[in-house]
């Protein structure tokens, strides 16, 4: 009868087993077989038929590790079964031999010290003995810890009893009058520990929220503007923020500002996961020129061992009793106005080499270009110290403006009224439209289109929660203009959104950076007076500019979200190659961001409404706040934000610059006779007067640089 397929396979397997058994019995044949199998394995490995665990996909790695784990468990189970079989056989053999002498062995076992000591080599018994000893050791350890805690408690109670006895003896030795006063005094109030614990939990959560808000403040961390700079944890995606100072410095600032007595470790532990340390590999392309030049100069003087300060922040700490106090930064503080930098003796023969960012004029044919370059500077050490003295007043004034603007805006957000709204605006970098697959001539040519993104974050009162709530918005345009006319066109949908969120709004506070080509120029001053033409309920507008180089904020995160979504869509094979595709994608996929479109015709229409004969305000570069009121004939200009003084008034805090006529009230002229000239708008910084930081008079310029003269 012919065999079936299964029977033939079974007979073949048996034949292979018999043959391999014969090979195993012969050492020479076994060595040849092993070498043959090794070469076959290496061949398959080179052909990538067998992959190592590191070369496999994550899913294949998990499956292989799961198989290894299962095989190891089966192997251990087989070993355990074999051990139990061996132990059973040994026990039977021992019992067969030792039954006649069982009583004698029992008598001898009574004389042994440890009943667990044995001479049996059985692995099962040894493992059981170790398990019993480990369990008993754990029990003993727990009991020892309980005994120690009880002893500690007993000692504390003993000390308490001793103190009470001493107090009782002291009271008994007092005169009768004093003793009666103490006895008749009211007993201390009993503490309600349950309410106290509840209070502690509540205060702890408040402190944690305060720490998180402190970390997310723009003065302490800057938001990343890149579309790839985000971080996700526990299904929560946040835009990255980078710290502006070391944690220990931020901890000191937090303690001084909030007066919360917390430990440094607690402050570091509650840092939000999206607030990161700046990485050295990250290339920062938005540095402030004032900060970077001062940092390069101070670093060069420190490396030459002329000053002890390594960074500009260290100089602020040396010269100010509080680096966040505006009076200290203005050198008006009585306690630190006379401080100066202590210079060390130095040799003035060798030149000091460092770099500085400077603006240089360069001819390009008939045109003259103004380029920003990083130039190498070579000065004598004494000249470098003089340069530091000249730059310090500008640097202190720069820091003063930064801190004043941050504090003013933060106070405005905290005390925002129900009829007010804050609009933070900024132009994001134009987005380059992409296709999932592109031809070479398109990729490297000039056919790629761009989209202009004007990002906005609106802060208004929510009637549901009763708190100030942010609303993200972005206006898109195929027109790449970023001038005043385009800003006017981009702001109109934003104002419509503000009225939609809160119909009671009559005062709007704008926040923006301060480029003269976009938000801070004579055309924008005119546009501010015309924004209420389509919204009659808006009666007051303030426009607040951040200090140059420090305009990063929440709108940068909005732009990064849009660009990240577009890139992700392209990676999945969808084309985002023209403005309509980009707009439809953003409007359909983004639920928490309002998307509006601005056409080029809207921008041209607004451009026609701007008069050509506008005269500039002398002192525009010093303006950091513009205040407009519908019923006031003059627009107020200030060199820093102040929300305490009204429109049309000279600021009592010394921040007034001048006035220009409100063209929404009077159309005759736009320049008022009371405009302060530019030369008078410069801040009178006390550094230039009696509090000027000078080099110490006893500086030694010694060639040998050994011992200073007395």
Lowest mean pLDDT among 319-323, 476-480, 692-696: 692-696
Average pLDDT, the chain: 81
**pLDDT by residue (tens digit) across 7-31?**
888 888 889 888 888 888 888 889 9
Tokens describing residue 112: 């042994």
pLDDT on residue 191: 47
- Residue 693: pLDDT band by 50, 70, 90 thresholds? very low
Q: Is the pLDDT of residue 571 over 90?
A: no
Over residues 557-571, mean pLDDT: 89
**pLDDT tens digits for range 113-128:** 455 454 445 677 888 8
User: What does the pLDDT average to over 475-500?
Assistant: 92
Q: Position of tokens 């031809």?
A: 439
Average pLDDT over residues 195-215: 71
Do 485 and 589 touch, CB atoms closer than 8 A?
no
User: Best-predicted range by mean pLDDT among 174-183, 261-270, 675-684?
Assistant: 261-270
Query: 1: pLDDT confidence band, cut at 50, 70 and 90?
Result: low
Q: Which helix (H) or strand (E) holds 352?
A: strand 352-364
Q: How does residue 410 score in pLDDT terms, banded at 50, 70 and 90?
A: confident
- Is the pLDDT confidence value at 199 over 60? no
Q: What are phi and psi of 656, to 5 degrees?
A: -80, 140
For position 702, what pLDDT does the model report?
A: 41
Q: Please, what sign has the CA dihedral across residues 366, 370, 374, 377?
A: positive
Edge-to-edge strand list for the sheet holding 221-223 = 221-223, 241-243, 275-276
Between CA 257 and CA 269 the distance in angstroms is 19
Written as six digits, the tokens of 663 are: 């063209």
- 135-176 pLDDT tens trace: 888 888 889 989 988 998 898 899 889 888 888 888 877 777
C-alpha torsion 391→394→399→403, nearest 10: 170
Q: Averaged over 70-97, what is the pLDDT?
A: 73
User: Quick one: average pLDDT of 488-511?
Assistant: 92
575-581 LR contacts (CB < 8 Å, sep 24+): 575/434, 575/435, 575/436, 576/433, 576/434, 576/435, 577/433, 577/434, 577/435, 577/449, 578/433, 578/449, 579/433, 579/449, 579/451, 579/476, 579/478, 581/433
| For residue 104, pLDDT beyond 70 | no
Q: Which residues sit opposite 427 in a β-bridge?
A: 454
Residue 188: the pLDDT is 52
pLDDT band, residue 554 (cuts 50/70/90): confident
CA 548 to chain CA centroid, Å, is: 21
pLDDT of residue 89: 66
pLDDT exceeds cutoff 90 at 369: no
Q: Name residue, tokens 């229409």.
A: 605
CA pair distance 462, 421, nearest whole angstrom:
11
Q: Which residue from 524, 446, 450, 442 is spatially nearest to 483, judged by alpha carbons? A: 524
Phi, psi at residue 81, to the nearest 5°?
A: -65, -40
Of 106-120, 303-317, 350-364, 563-577, least confident by mean pLDDT is 106-120
What pLDDT was estimated at residue 102?
44
Q: Return the pLDDT at 407.
A: 87
Check residue 423 and give its pLDDT: 94
| Weakest-pLDDT range from 231-235, 366-370, 614-618 | 366-370
pLDDT of residue 334: 84
pLDDT of 449 over the 50 cut: yes
Q: State residue 147's pLDDT score.
A: 92
- Residue 406 contacts residue 425 (beta carbons within 8 Å): no
Residue 422's DSSP bridge partners are: 459, 509
User: What pLDDT score was predicted for residue 7?
Assistant: 86
274 Cβ neighbours under 8 A, 6+ residues apart: 230, 231, 238, 239, 240, 241
Q: Cα angle at 511 between 505 and 513, to 5 degrees?
A: 160
Query: What pLDDT is attached to residue 272?
Result: 92
pLDDT of residue 675 exceeding 50? no
CB atoms within 10 A of CB 407: 14
Task: Tell me how far the alpha carbon of residue 588 is from its chain's centroid.
Answer: 30
3-state secondary structure of 96: helix
Are 640 and 401 within 8 A, CB to CB?
Answer: yes
Distance between CA atoms of residues 446 and 608, nearest Å: 30
Between these two residues, 293 and 707, which has the higher pLDDT value? 293
- When pLDDT is cut at 50, 70 and 90, the band that residue 186 belongs to is low
Is the predicted pLDDT of residue 575 greater than 80, yes or no? yes
Query: pLDDT confidence of 454, banded at 50, 70, 90?
Result: very high
DSSP state of 283: -
Take residue 361 and report the two structure tokens written for it.
């004029």
- The per-residue pLDDT for range 588-620, each reduced to its tens digit, is 888 889 999 999 999 999 999 988 888 888 888
578, 449 in Cβ contact below 8 A? Answer: yes
Kind and range of the H or E element at 26?
none
Which residue would you say has higher pLDDT here, 204 or 667? Answer: 204
Structure tokens of 582?
């980009």
Q: How far apart are CA 434 and CA 192, in angstroms?
A: 66
The per-residue pLDDT for 699 is 43
| Entry field: residues in the chain | 710
């Amino acid at each position: 009868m012919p065999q079936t397929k299964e029977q033939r396979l079974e007979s073949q397997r048996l034949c292979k087993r018999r043959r391999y058994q014969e090979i195993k019995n012969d050492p020479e044949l076994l060595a040849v077989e092993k070498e043959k199998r090794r070469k076959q394995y290496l061949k398959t490995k080179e052909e990538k038929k067998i992959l190592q665990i590191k070369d496999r996909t994550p899913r294949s790695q998990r499956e292989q590790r799961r198989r290894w784990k299962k095989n190891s468990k089966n192997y251990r189970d087989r070993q355990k079964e074999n051990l139990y079989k061996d132990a059973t056989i040994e026990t039977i053999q021992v019992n067969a031999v030792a039954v006649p002498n069982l009583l004698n062995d029992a008598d001898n076992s009574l004389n042994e010290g440890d009943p667990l000591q044995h001479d049996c080599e059985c692995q099962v018994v040894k493992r059981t003995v170790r398990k019993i000893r480990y369990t008993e050791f754990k029990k003993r350890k727990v009991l020892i810890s309980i005994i120690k805690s009880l002893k500690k408690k007993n000692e504390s109670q003993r000390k308490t009893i001793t103190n009470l006895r001493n107090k009782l003896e002291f009271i008994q030795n007092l005169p009768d009058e004093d003793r009666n006063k103490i006895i008749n005094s009211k007993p201390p109030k009993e503490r309600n520990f349950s309410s106290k614990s509840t209070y502690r939990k509540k205060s702890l959560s408040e402190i944690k929220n305060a720490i998180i808000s402190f970390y997310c403040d723009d003065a302490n961390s800057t938001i990343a503007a890149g579309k790839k700079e985000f971080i996700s944890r526990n299904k929560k995606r946040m835009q990255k923020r980078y710290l502006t100072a070391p944690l220990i410095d931020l901890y000191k600032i937090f303690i001084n500002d909030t007066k919360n007595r917390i430990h440094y470790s607690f402050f570091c532990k509650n840092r939000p996961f999206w607030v990161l340390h700046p990485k050295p590999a990250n290339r920062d392309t938005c540095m402030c020129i004032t900060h970077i030049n001062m940092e390069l100069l101070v670093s060069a003087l420190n490396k030459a061992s002329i000053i002890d300060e390594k960074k500009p922040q260290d100089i602020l700490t040396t010269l100010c009793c509080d680096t966040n106090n505006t009076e200290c930064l203005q050198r008006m503080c009585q306690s630190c106005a006379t401080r100066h930098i202590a210079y060390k003796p130095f040799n003035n023969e060798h030149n000091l080499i460092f770099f500085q960012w400077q603006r240089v004029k360069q001819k390009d044919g008939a045109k003259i270009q103004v380029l920003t370059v990083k130039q190498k500077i070579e000065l004598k050490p004494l000249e470098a110290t003089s340069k530091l003295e000249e730059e310090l007043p500008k640097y202190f004034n720069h820091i003063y403006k930064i801190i004043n603007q941050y504090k003013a805006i933060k106070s405005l957000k905290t005390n925002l009224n129900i009829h007010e709204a804050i609009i933070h605006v900024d132009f994001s970098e134009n987005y380059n439209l992409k296709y999932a697959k592109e031809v070479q001539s398109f990729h490297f040519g000039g056919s790629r289109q761009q989209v202009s993104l004007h990002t906005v974050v609106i802060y208004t009162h929510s009637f549901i929660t009763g708190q100030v709530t942010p609303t993200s918005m972005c206006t898109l345009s195929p027109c790449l203009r970023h001038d005043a006319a385009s800003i006017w066109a981009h702001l109109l949908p934003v104002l419509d959104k503000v009225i939609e969120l809160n119909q009671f709004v009559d005062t709007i506070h704008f926040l923006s950076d301060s480029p003269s080509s976009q938000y801070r120029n004579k055309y924008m001053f005119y546009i501010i007076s015309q924004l209420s033409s389509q919204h009659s309920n808006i009666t007051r507008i303030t426009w607040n500019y951040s200090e140059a180089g420090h305009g990063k904020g929440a709108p940068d995160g909005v732009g990064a979200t849009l660009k990240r979504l577009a890139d992700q869509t392209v990676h999945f094979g969808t084309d985002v190659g023209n403005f309509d595709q980009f707009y439809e994608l953003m409007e359909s996929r983004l639920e928490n961001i309002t998307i509006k479109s601005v056409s080029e015709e809207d921008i041209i229409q607004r451009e026609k409404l701007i008069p050509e004969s506008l005269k500039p305000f002398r002192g525009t570069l010093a303006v950091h706040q513009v205040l407009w009121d519908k019923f006031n004939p003059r627009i107020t200009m200030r060199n820093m934000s102040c929300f305490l003084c009204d429109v049309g008034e000279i600021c009592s805090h010394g921040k007034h610059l001048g006035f220009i006529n409100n063209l929404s009230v009077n159309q005759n002229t736009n320049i008022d006779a009371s405009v302060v000239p530019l030369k008078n708008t410069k801040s009178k910084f006390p550094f230039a007067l009696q509090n000027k930081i000078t080099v110490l008079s006893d500086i030694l310029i010694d060639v040998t640089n050994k011992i200073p003269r007395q």
